[in-house]
Chains A and B, each alone.
Chain A
Amino acid sequence: MQFGIFSVSDVTTDPTTGRTPTEAERVKAMVAIALKAEEVGLDVFASGEHHNPPFVASSPTTMLGYIAARTERLVLSTATTLITTNDPVKIAEDFAMLQHLADGRVDLMMGRGNTGPVYPWFGRDIRQGIPLALENYHLLHRLWREEAVDWEGKFRTPLQGFTSTPRPLDGVPPFVWHGSIRSPEIAEQAAYYGDGFFHNNIFWPATHTRKLISLYRRRFEHYGHGRADQAYVGLGGQVFMRKNSQDAVKEFRPYFDHAPVYGGGPSLEEFTRETPLTVGSPQEVIDRTLTFREQFGDYQRQLFLMDHAGLPLKTVLEQLDILGEEVVPVLREEFAARKPAHVPDAPDHASLLAAKGTDEEAVS
């Protein structure tokens, strides 16, 4: 089981002080947060991709490459990489390069984004969102696996005998997660390729999330990648912790009430009841996170949203200390004790390389 954090990279005014960080401060804060994630023993740091203010993460591989140079173990990922509006050739190149620089500590999550105008800004039609995600990924999948690609599709200019460089590290493409919150087509796509499926459930009630995940699991088995309970599932989470539950609620409430995404909507209490948001003691976070397994089955990756809504860097780093010291060690033990032996861990470079070796031996 992997534990990590994902950042949307928002530049948001701290509602308690009225102070807004500069873009430079926010970019450096994201790096500090990633380094802290490794320091406290987390497994994954994932950056979002946005192309409009108030977000700074327009160039994830640049940031992840920098973090790669300053970390040893952390897996660098995205949440998400826009498969709809990025050129799949450039994704193939950027992430293969990152793989080499990071010695294989790279995977990525495909997504369609949540900002409509990004499509026209990059010359695409939002009504083609699903077909773009399907066709672009199919090309990306081939570019990492075939030396010379002949390609003619609906969206991108054709390729004849094209070789994307550098080739993936050790001939092993990065593992891919497909992120979707509402599209059965994307669950079907993830299942078809035997890739991972990530549901960012932080704004969704469990009943909805369960339907999409169970669809993905069922179809993963249908396409012959293993049993349904062996499919690779990732989930989001959102927490704010203090030793005493009441202190956590008191400190987090102004951030919740003014957050661009939920301000003016449900109360903090309603929101914590209906969604995975947990504001309380480390033990409450442990208990809540363990319920995800009961609701969605054994899963491989848990990412928490920690730096958002104007929370100052100092607070976020304190949160990561609590997460790494008090929450994740307990969760690792509890999840490991509950997981049946036939359920795999999330693939990483080493396991994919080993699996490739086995396949090649079987062929020869």
Chain B
Amino acid sequence: MTEVRRIVAVSAGLSTPSSTRLLADRLTGAAERALGERGLKADVRVVELREVAHDIVNAMLTRVPTGDLPAILDDVSAADGVVAVTPVFSASYSGLFKAFFDVVEPEALDGTPVLVGATGGSPRHSLVLEHALRPLFSHTRSVVVPTGVYAASADWGADGEGARELDDRVGRAARQLALLAADHASGERDSRADPVDFADLMDGLGR
């Protein structure tokens, strides 16, 4: 039986169709092929944050995850690889994108490979990957793959060399994600299932 790696793509695009979703699909498609080359099967779930936007606000205000959000949070924490793609709004990731990762449990992405992607109207915001997304996922203790993918509007109509550039970056980033996801320990990390022994908790404390 072929081993499975769970890939969850989080897309913060707002329109339908959105170029953010388009990029997320390109990345997950490439990741699926790259895992396939390693003899692994990909189980891909794409999350459109727009569909749970109100639930994200509910969770932020009351910590109560409503609607489909609890299942999505479970999938994210159980993922072997996350593809996180946001449109650039006001020089950074969108508020919805950040709000979602604010309600993800702090330890949920610890050690999880993350591929960061962003879309924007002009190529001049491409460093958003480096100054906004990469630090966010460093904070969550994720392993951010070296190649992030930024797609400007013009990239979607590029020909020749330009078209290959986006394609190449997508492929390279996906191969890096697959490399890490292949080795990612499968199964959900849950300290509620596997507690630290009391004696270890008391280590260094007064008895």
Q: Which residues in A have some Cβ–Cβ distance to B below 8 Å?
A: 130-131, 134-135, 138-139, 151-156, 184-185, 187-189, 191-192, 203-205, 207, 211-212, 215, 219, 223, 261-266, 270-271, 273-275
Interface presence of B191 (CB below 8 A): yes
Tell me, in angstroms, the Cα distance from A215 to B191 when the chains sit together: 9
Asked whether, in the complex, the Cβ of B201 is within 8 Å of the Cβ of A134, the reply is: yes
Asked whether, in the complex, the Cβ of B198 is within 8 Å of the Cβ of A189, the reply is: yes
Task: Contacts A138-B202, A188-B195, A212-B192 given; indicate if A265 touches B61 (C-beta within 8 A).
Answer: yes
* A to B CB contacts below 8 Å, 21 in the list: A130-B201, A134-B201, A138-B202, A139-B206, A154-B204, A184-B192, A184-B195, A184-B196, A189-B198, A203-B62, A204-B64, A205-B70, A211-B190, A262-B64, A265-B61, A265-B62, A265-B64, A266-B66, A270-B67, A271-B62, A274-B64
Asked whether, in the complex, the Cβ of B201 is within 8 Å of the Cβ of A189, the reply is: yes
Tell me, in angstroms, the Cα distance from A131 to B196 when the chains sit together: 13
Tell me, in angstroms, the Cα distance from A54 to B112 when the chains sit together: 41
Q: How many A-B residue pairs have CB under 8 A?
A: 84
Interface presence of B207 (CB below 8 A): yes
From A152, A155, A205, give the contact of B65 (CB < 8 A).
A205
Asked whether, in the complex, the Cβ of B66 is within 8 Å of the Cβ of A192, the reply is: no
Asked whether, in the complex, the Cβ of B58 is within 8 Å of the Cβ of A270, the reply is: yes
Asked whether, in the complex, the Cβ of B62 is within 8 Å of the Cβ of A211, the reply is: no
Asked whether, in the complex, the Cβ of A185 is within 8 Å of the Cβ of B201, the reply is: yes
Question: Which residues on the B side are within 8 Å of A138 (C-beta)?
Answer: 202, 205-207
Question: Which residues on the B side are within 8 Å of A156 (C-beta)?
Answer: 206
- B75 CB to nearest chain A CB (Å): 14
Asked whether, in the complex, the Cβ of A275 is within 8 Å of the Cβ of B206, the reply is: no
1/0 per residue B44-79: CB within 8 Å of A? 000000000000011001111111001000000000
Q: Tell me the count of chain B residues lying within 8 A, CB to CB, of chain A.
A: 24
Asked whether, in the complex, the Cβ of B192 is within 8 Å of the Cβ of A215, the reply is: yes
1/0 per residue B111-145: CB within 8 Å of A? 00000000000000000000000000000000000
Knowing that A188-B196, A188-B197 are A-B contacts, what are 20 other residue pairs whose CB atoms are under 8 Å apart, sorted by A's residue number? A131-B204, A134-B205, A153-B205, A154-B205, A185-B201, A188-B198, A191-B198, A192-B198, A203-B64, A204-B64, A205-B65, A211-B190, A261-B62, A262-B64, A263-B61, A264-B61, A265-B57, A265-B58, A265-B61, A270-B58
| Chain B residue at minimal CB-CB distance from A266 | B58
Tell me, in angstroms, the Cα distance from A205 to B71 when the chains sit together: 12
| Chain A residue at minimal CB-CB distance from B57 | A265
Question: Which residues on the B side are within 8 Å of A265 (C-beta)?
Answer: 57-58, 61-62, 64
Question: Which residues on the A side are within 8 Å of B191 (C-beta)?
Answer: 184
Q: Is the interface of A mostly helix, strand, loop or mixed?
A: helix
Tell me, in angstroms, the Cα distance from A152 to B191 when the chains sit together: 30
- B124 CB to nearest chain A CB (Å): 36
Q: Which residues in B have some Cβ–Cβ distance to A below 8 Å?
A: 57-58, 61-67, 70, 190-193, 195-198, 201-202, 204-207
Closest 4 CB pairs of A and B: A153-B206, A265-B61, A192-B198, A265-B62
Tell me, in angstroms, the Cα distance from A274 to B63 when the chains sit together: 11
Tell me, in angstroms, the Cα distance from A271 to B63 when the chains sit together: 11
Asked whether, in the complex, the Cβ of A135 is within 8 Å of the Cβ of B205, the reply is: yes
Asked whether, in the complex, the Cβ of A270 is within 8 Å of the Cβ of B205, the reply is: no
Asked whether, in the complex, the Cβ of B193 is within 8 Å of the Cβ of A215, the reply is: yes
Question: Which residues on the A side are within 8 Å of B64 (C-beta)?
Answer: 203-205, 262, 265-266, 271, 274-275
Task: Contacts A211-B192, A215-B193, A271-B62 given; indicate if A131 touches B205 (C-beta within 8 A).
Answer: yes
| Chain B residue at minimal CB-CB distance from A193 | B198
Tell me, in angstroms, the Cα distance from A154 to B201 when the chains sit together: 13
Tell me, in angstroms, the Cα distance from A134 to B190 when the chains sit together: 21
- A294 CB to nearest chain B CB (Å): 19
- B190 CB to nearest chain A CB (Å): 7
Asked whether, in the complex, the Cβ of A262 is within 8 Å of the Cβ of B192, the reply is: no
Question: Which residues on the B side are within 8 Å of A266 (C-beta)?
Answer: 58, 62, 64, 66
Tell me, in angstroms, the Cα distance from A223 to B199 when the chains sit together: 12
| Chain A residue at minimal CB-CB distance from B63 | A203
Asked whether, in the complex, the Cβ of B62 is within 8 Å of the Cβ of A262, the reply is: yes
Tell me, in angstroms, the Cα distance from A151 to B207 when the chains sit together: 8
Asked whether, in the complex, the Cβ of A187 is within 8 Å of the Cβ of B206, the reply is: no
